[in-house]
Amino acid sequence: MMAALCALLVIPLLLGIVTYLSPAPRISQALTVAGAIATLALAGSLLELRGGRISTAGGILYADSLSVVLLLSVALVYAASAIFSIGYLKSEQNSPGFSRYARNFYALLNLFAFTMLLVPATDNLGLVWVAVELTTIVSALMVGLEGTGSALEAAWKYILIASAGLALALLGVVLLYASGTGALGPGYEPNWSVLLSASGRLEDSTVRLAFLFAVIGFGTKAGLVPMHTWLPDAHSEGPTPVSALLSGALLADAMYAIFRFYGITVGAVGAGFPSTVLFVFGITSLILAGFFVLIQRDFKRLLAYSSIEHMGVLAVGTAFGTPLALYGVALHVLTHAATKSMAFFGAGSILKKLGTKETAKVRGLIHIVPATAVLFLMAGIAISGLPPFGIFRSEFLILAGGFSRGGALFIPAALLLALVNLAFLGLFRYANQMVLGEPPKGAKPGEASRWMVAAMVFALVFVLGLGVWVPDILSATLRGAANVISGGR
C-alpha cells in the first residue's frame, strides 16, 4: 500500500519533468495518458485500506479513507483530462510555436496533478498548506497559458485572491497548532491525526478562531461565496482540461482541508459552532450560484457557477453532520469530479467546433456534433442532479441525512432542496437550448475530435456507474471517510 501511495505521487512528478524536456508532443501525449491511467489504477488499489490508514516518515506520507476519496477524484479527472488533451491540442498542431506550447502544457498538467495528489497524501497540516499553495502557482500558469489578455487577467486575479485567502488559511493553521501547545507541548508534530487524538484537550477559543480562518482561507480556493470572485474567470478563460481539473479536483482539495479542520473542531468545541459557520457559507454559495446560473450567457462561466453551487452542497452536507449526510458528502466529491469533468469536456468540444462560448449562438448541436451533443446533454442532466446519475444519489443521501435529524436541521435541509432545484432550472434550460433547435448557418457537421468524445465517454462510465451502483469496497471507504470528517479516528 505504501509503495502504491509513493508511486501515485512520483509518476506525475517525473512526467512533469520528462514532458518538459521532451521535444516531441506525441511522446508527451502518450506518456501523460499512460501515467495518468496508471495513477488512477494506483489510487483505486488504495480502496483495499477499507477504512484503515497507512503512514510513514512521521506522517509526511499518509492515507486514510478520506484521503483515498480525494486521491480517487483527482486521479479520475487527471486521467480523463489526459485523454481529452490529445484531441484538444490536435487542432493547434500546425500553429506557430505549437511544440513549445505543448511542452509547457503537458509539463504543467502533470505537475498540477502532482500538487493536487500531494494535498490528501500527507498527515502534516503545514505540508497540506504548502501543497495547496503549490496548486495555486501551477494552475495560475495553466490558466494564463493561452496568452490572451483575458486569460492573463484571469490568472493574475486568481493569484491575488487565492494568495490572500491562503494567507488567512496559514493563520488558521498556526492558530490550530497553537491551540495544542498546552496539551502536547511546544514542539509536537503538526499532524491531523495527532491533533484529532488530542482534540478534547485543545484550547477552545483558539480552535474556533482557527476554524473560521480556515473556512475563509481554504474556502477562497474552494470557491465559497463571497471569496469566489476568481473562479468564474479562471474556469472560463483557462484551457478546457485546466477548467476540468480546477472544477473537478482542485475545489475538492480545498474542501478536504476544511473537512479536516471540521473534525478536529467538532472534537474540541462540539458540532454547533463549525456547523453554523458552514451553513452560512454553504447556503450563501447556493443562493448566489443558483441565481447566477439562471442569467449566464457564457456556457463555461455557467459551469463555473455550478461548481460554486456544488461546493455549497458539500459545505451544507458537512454541517448536517449525520453519518448518512457525510457519506453523501464523500460520494459527492467523486460524483462531482466525474460529472463536472464530462460537462467541461463537452463545453470545450463545442468551443473548438463553433469558436464561441455564448449560449445564444449555440443551437442545434444534435445536428452538428451528435455524439458530443448527446453526451453534453447527459452531463447537463447529471450535474442538475437528476436520476439515474451519481450526483442524484449523493445529493439524495445528503438531503436524507439532513431531514433524518429533523428539528433544527429541517429548515437548512429544505433550503438546500429548494436551492439545488433553482440551479437545476438554469442548467437544464441552457443545455436543452444548446442541443436542440436549428443549427447556425454555415456550421459543418462532424465531431471536433474523437479523443474528446472518448474522454466524455470515459467520464460517463463513472457518472452513470456511481448512480446505479456503489461497490462494497468503495462503500466501505465512503463510510470511513464520513467517520473521519465527523472527527472519528
Cα–Cα nearest to 174, from 214, 136, 204 = 214
Cα–Cα nearest to 275, from 483, 486, 65 = 486
Helix H or strand E segment including 54: strand 54-56
Quote the cell numbers at residue 300: 463555461
Q: Which residue positions in the chain have pLDDT lower than 70?
A: 94, 489
| CA distances for 167 relative to 59, 187, 280, 410, 464, angstroms | 24, 23, 22, 36, 39
- Kindly state the DSSP code that residue 201 receives in the 8-state scheme: G
Q: Give the torsion through C-alpha atoms of 458, 463, 468, 470, to 10 deg.
A: 90
Helix H or strand E segment including 258: helix 251-269
Confirm if 87 and 455 have CB atoms less than 8 A apart.
yes
Confirm if 202 and 181 have CB atoms less than 8 A apart.
no
Secondary structure of residue 148 in the 3-state scheme: coil
pLDDT at 20: 92
pLDDT at 489: 61
- Strand 61-63 to 54-56 pairing: antiparallel
Confirm if 81 and 109 have CB atoms less than 8 A apart.
yes
Secondary structure of residue 478 in the 3-state scheme: helix
Which amino acid belongs to residue 266? V
Burial class (CB in 10 A: 0-12, 13-18, 19+), 320: buried
C-alpha span between 188 and 417 (Å, rounded):
43
Q: Give the torsion through C-alpha atoms of 311, 314, 317, 319, to 10 deg.
A: -80
Write down the domain spans for the chain.
Answer: 2-485
End-to-end CA distance of the chain: 20
Confirm if 401 and 326 have CB atoms less than 8 A apart.
yes
pTM reported for the whole predicted model: 0.95
pLDDT at 445: 86
346-386 pLDDT, tens digit each: 999 999 888 888 888 888 899 899 999 999 999 999 998 88
276-294 pLDDT, tens digit each: 999 999 999 999 998 888 8
| CA distances for 222 relative to 29, 165, 178, 251, 433, angstroms | 29, 10, 25, 4, 29
Task: Assign residue 439 a region (left: φ > 0; alpha: ψ between -120 and 50; beta: otherwise).
Answer: beta
Confirm if 283 and 277 have CB atoms less than 8 A apart.
no
Quote the cell numbers at residue 464: 452513470
C-alpha span between 214 and 217 (Å, rounded):
5
